[in-house]
Structure 1
Amino acid sequence: MNRATLLFLLGMLAVPHEHAAAQTAPSRLVPFRQGARWGYADHTRRLVLPVRYDEAGPFTGEIAWVRQGSLYGYIDGGGNPVTPVQYSRASTFRRGRATVELNGETFDIDLSGHRLTEPAPPEPEIEPLEHGDLVRKNGKVGFRFTVGTTSVPAEYDEIQENYNGLLFVRQGAKWGVINSKGKLIQPVTYDAIRMEGNRVFPAVQREGLWGYLDEEGNTLTELRYRQADPFLGDIARVITANGQPGYIDANGQEFFE
């Protein structure tokens, strides 16, 4: 299964059908930071919307939040305003709605910028895809894959499954990664592995710095970020070691300079 298909299928699990395409389609434009100012670039890093914002958020459903001074507003993919720059807080759109704050009041708006009066629907429950069964022996856990004869010996303290067949294994306080063939592809040296978001690109941490793995468990980026947020579609927000925000794409390419 290729990366684009996997991103789409995971998005279909995570959001209602009517918003799935908007939430999970590859981002046409990526927030791009030059110094302290922000614009938007395509995936070749070619600037498409000029660098004129004090901060910029990711596009979902062809709408993104931007900040000018201390206030936020929303623009479309052509850089045209969807709302005035008037909110003291503004979130990224998710499942067709975003939360904003105006004059001390917090409420949700729709993709047209209109205020919503009905409450947000409950979060959908996501059932993990199971690729096998845990095997317990002498206080340790292993894993037996459903397909084939591959198994992982019961020598770990914890095992968690990922959607695309990876196993995250813990020995003591350290984590590593095993693939669907039972091979240890990332040594048990990480202090943390985080799987929020679309669960395709796990974030890993060691000695206070974060990086990402790709969908096969290989290194996507080196451990060089102070903060690594979950991927939204095919981009993720990071904080560099010197405290500057920026975005990367699913190839690990950085969109800041």
Structure 2
Amino acid sequence: MFKVTCIKATIQVPCELAYDEVWHSENGLIKVSKDGLWGFISEKGTIAIPIEYDTVFQSNNGLICVEKNGLYGLLDTNGNVLIPCIYEEEFEFLSKNLWGKKDGKYCLLNMAGAHITEDWFDEIWCGYDDLCAVRVGGKWGVVSEITGELLVDISYQQAYPIYGKLIRIKLQGKWGLLHHSGYEILPPIYSDMRESNTGVICVKKDGKWGIVKLSI
């Protein structure tokens, strides 16, 4: 003998078939498309982010990145504009801030759109320990992602953060190592350098390799 159980379900939100495309719910918001434009609705069916953008997506911190006419901006989940659509690339989110591109140049911004760095850079790359390598012309330096402070002068052929708040630099074709505060740990005299996260640096000079053990 079979036992039949009946389940009564109550539909809380009527299903409005008004959208060309609907994506799954994420953090209580549902991405929808209508007439080629995108926005978000709530799980109650109300408009959360106006359906007026060319692209929309949620960042890993829950904020909404939007694109309109090829320019990017940032909204909160209530649809309030944090950063207007004036930047030329999708934002790159960092640990606490982000970077944006405008007029071909990059700067660091906070989540409200205020500038962390006063200067604009030709290129920016953020790595370990809240440090960002920045390029102006053919020279590199390092700034703090948190404060925007210039930590390493923009005067090197290459400069980029590695583990332990150290900066690998290249000057006149030779490699060296700086502390993030700017003082020199290894002078730029090595033709090659390989770092690890154990504090051991492999260095090459005059065709020979050796190691340097750091204790910082």
> What TM-score comes out, normalization by structure 2 length?
0.51
Contact 1:169–1:188 (Cα < 8 Å) also in 2: no
Equivalent in the alignment of 2:85: 154
Helix, strand or coil for the counterpart of 1:159? coil
Equivalent in the alignment of 1:248: 178
User: In the aligned structure 1, how far is the partner of 2:109 from the partner of 2:128?
Assistant: 19
What is the CA distance between 1:224 and its match in structure 2? 1.0
Helix, strand or coil for the counterpart of 1:246? strand
* The structure with more radius of gyration: 2
Runs of 4+ in 1 over 3 A off after TM superposition: none
Equivalent in the alignment of 2:36: none
User: In the aligned structure 1, how far is the partner of 2:62 from the partner of 2:176?
Assistant: 35
Structure 1: gaps (5+ residues):
1-127
Question: Where does 1:112-191 land on structure 2 (aligned, <5 Å)?
Answer: 129-130=60-61, 132-145=63-76, 151-187=82-118, 189-191=120-122
What is the CA distance between 1:133 and its match in structure 2? 1.7
Helix, strand or coil for the counterpart of 1:154? strand
Equivalent in the alignment of 2:144: 214
Structure 2: gaps (5+ residues):
1-58, 188-216
RMSD: 2.8
CA, structure 1 residues 199+139, in 2 after alignment: closer, same or farther (shift >3 Å)?
A: farther
The one-letter amino acid paired with 1:192 is E
Contact 2:152–2:180 (Cα < 8 Å) also in 1: no
CA, structure 1 residues 153+199, in 2 after alignment: closer, same or farther (shift >3 Å)?
A: farther
The range that moved more, 231-240 or 204-213, is 231-240
**Alignment identity in percent?**
28
Cα deviations by residue, 1:155-204 (Å, 9 ceiling, x for unpaired): 01113233322121112421111123421222463111113x42621100
CA, structure 1 residues 140+186, in 2 after alignment: closer, same or farther (shift >3 Å)?
A: same
How many equivalent pairs are there? 128
Higher relative contact order by CA 8 Å / sep ≥ 6: 1 or 2? 1
Instruction: Please state which structure has a larger fraction of its residues in strand.
Output: 2
